[in-house]
A and B are shown apart, each in its own frame.
Chain A
């Protein structure tokens, strides 16, 4: 590999053909509002953890829908469950229940 001093870069493309949606479907069964996010960003703007850790409920949901589960779970581990996002969400998503549900479904899986 070092013979050229460069090599093929990994692709950043999100390939929707390869997304395994099983866990997200389980999540929607537990918390049907998981698919109701419209990406307004109110949750991240008000989040106590956001500015120090990059935590964002909006991004967590986006990542989970794209199969980027590790990324989402790592982000979510900074949540302090203060409930501010629950207060501001215009779609009335029960973010507290959502986060606990994510933890239940994705937390068990060592593979992610």
Chain B
């Protein structure tokens, strides 16, 4: 009954899968490239829609998957296929033989500096959604001046829905993240005017729309329908943002003390690299391609290889966790059917 399953990636999908595999009596081995578990969620402060601390989720997952064999600081050197199983060579010199591999390689945050017109890395007062979450956690970021927070802007869709950035996909979570972060900043700086520049607001999830209404009605956050086209810096070191208010059909500009870029999700190049070792197909959006995007999203076209989480496309935390469980069930059913 006991089966070894290699899980590539120790983010929330990998940990949830390890936990479920342990519960079903299997032996998961988690390979994590970085020095910590929890992936992007470990850098996050609070999660929508209930403002649950991200740390709580990660801690729960880490403690409930602790009996798994976990390798930190470890990468996949190569994988080759034996008759009915895979030989996985790790960067630490260990090799594992397993019938099952689960990709939980996740996403990479779009590099906001690629949108040169937004001046990330050029203008001091421009940060990303990730930088802001880190600041919520640590209160340390020289770009954020607590005493001078009179106006803040959020730019939705940075590197998402952007053919020029080679990412046509919607990153799904940025709209709600921007609203969440806008509310959090408003709570910290009640006198600040906060602007969200959006193309569409895609608030599909449970209680997301409630967040939007709260931001409008209770927090007085300004929603401007128009994509920021250019950011510059004025003589006082503040950023000037240009956009069109498409509802008014007129150009608009505003001076801000801080601009937050909602960097989207792109496929993790590490997933593509490892997928390449097994000739796994890549979908047109650059993410790993499932057998079927409706009913078999956790199943790869190759025997014994499964996917969970953002390696196949942008997902929320609950979707990622649900996919991890779903992938484990597919793996478990496959194990049972073999005997």
Q: B-contacting residues of A (Cβ < 8 Å)?
A: 12-17, 21, 25, 28, 32-33, 35-39, 58, 62-63, 65-66, 91
Contacts and interface: CB of A to CB of B under 8 A. Distances in A.
Interface residues of B, number: 20
Contact of B247 (A13, A17, A32, A62): A62
Interface in B80-111: none
B255 interface: yes
Interface string B213-226: 10011001011010
Contacts of B254: 15-17
Contact of B220 (A12, A28, A33, A66): A28
A16 B217 contact: no
A17 B255 contact: yes
A105 to B, nearest CB: 16
A16 B150 CA distance: 13
Nearest to A16: B254
B71 interface: no
A63 B245 CA distance: 11
B216 A16 contact: no
B217 A36 contact: yes
Interface of B: 193, 195, 201, 212-213, 216-217, 220, 222-223, 225, 245, 247-248, 250-255
A39 B223 CA distance: 10
B245 A66 contact: yes
Contacts, number: 50
24 contacts: A12-B250, A12-B251, A13-B250, A13-B252, A13-B253, A14-B250, A14-B251, A14-B253, A15-B254, A16-B193, A16-B195, A16-B254, A17-B254, A21-B193, A25-B220, A35-B217, A35-B220, A36-B216, A38-B212, A38-B216, A39-B247, A58-B247, A62-B247, A66-B245
Contacts of A32: 217
B217 A66 contact: no
Contact of B225 (A14, A16, A36, A39): A39
Contacts of B255: 17
What are the 7 A-B residue pairs with the smallest beta carbon separation, nearest first? A16-B254, A14-B252, A13-B251, A36-B217, A35-B216, A17-B255, A36-B216
B248 A14 contact: yes
- Central interface residue in A28, A58, A66, A91, by most chain B CB within 10 Å: A66
Nearest to B209: A38
B247 A33 contact: no
A62 B247 CA distance: 8
B113 to A, nearest CB: 26
B215 to A, nearest CB: 9
A74 to B, nearest CB: 15
A21 B195 CA distance: 14
B217 A14 contact: no
Contacts of B220: 25, 28, 35
A4 B248 CA distance: 33
A65 B222 contact: yes
Contacts of A66: 245, 248
Nearest to B225: A39
B252 A16 contact: yes
B17 to A, nearest CB: 39
A10 B228 CA distance: 22
Contacts of B201: 38
Nearest to B241: A16
B136 to A, nearest CB: 25
Contacts of B252: 13-16
A85 B255 CA distance: 35
Contacts of B245: 14, 62, 66
A10 B222 CA distance: 26
A36 B245 CA distance: 17
Given A14-B248, A14-B252, A36 B222 contact: no
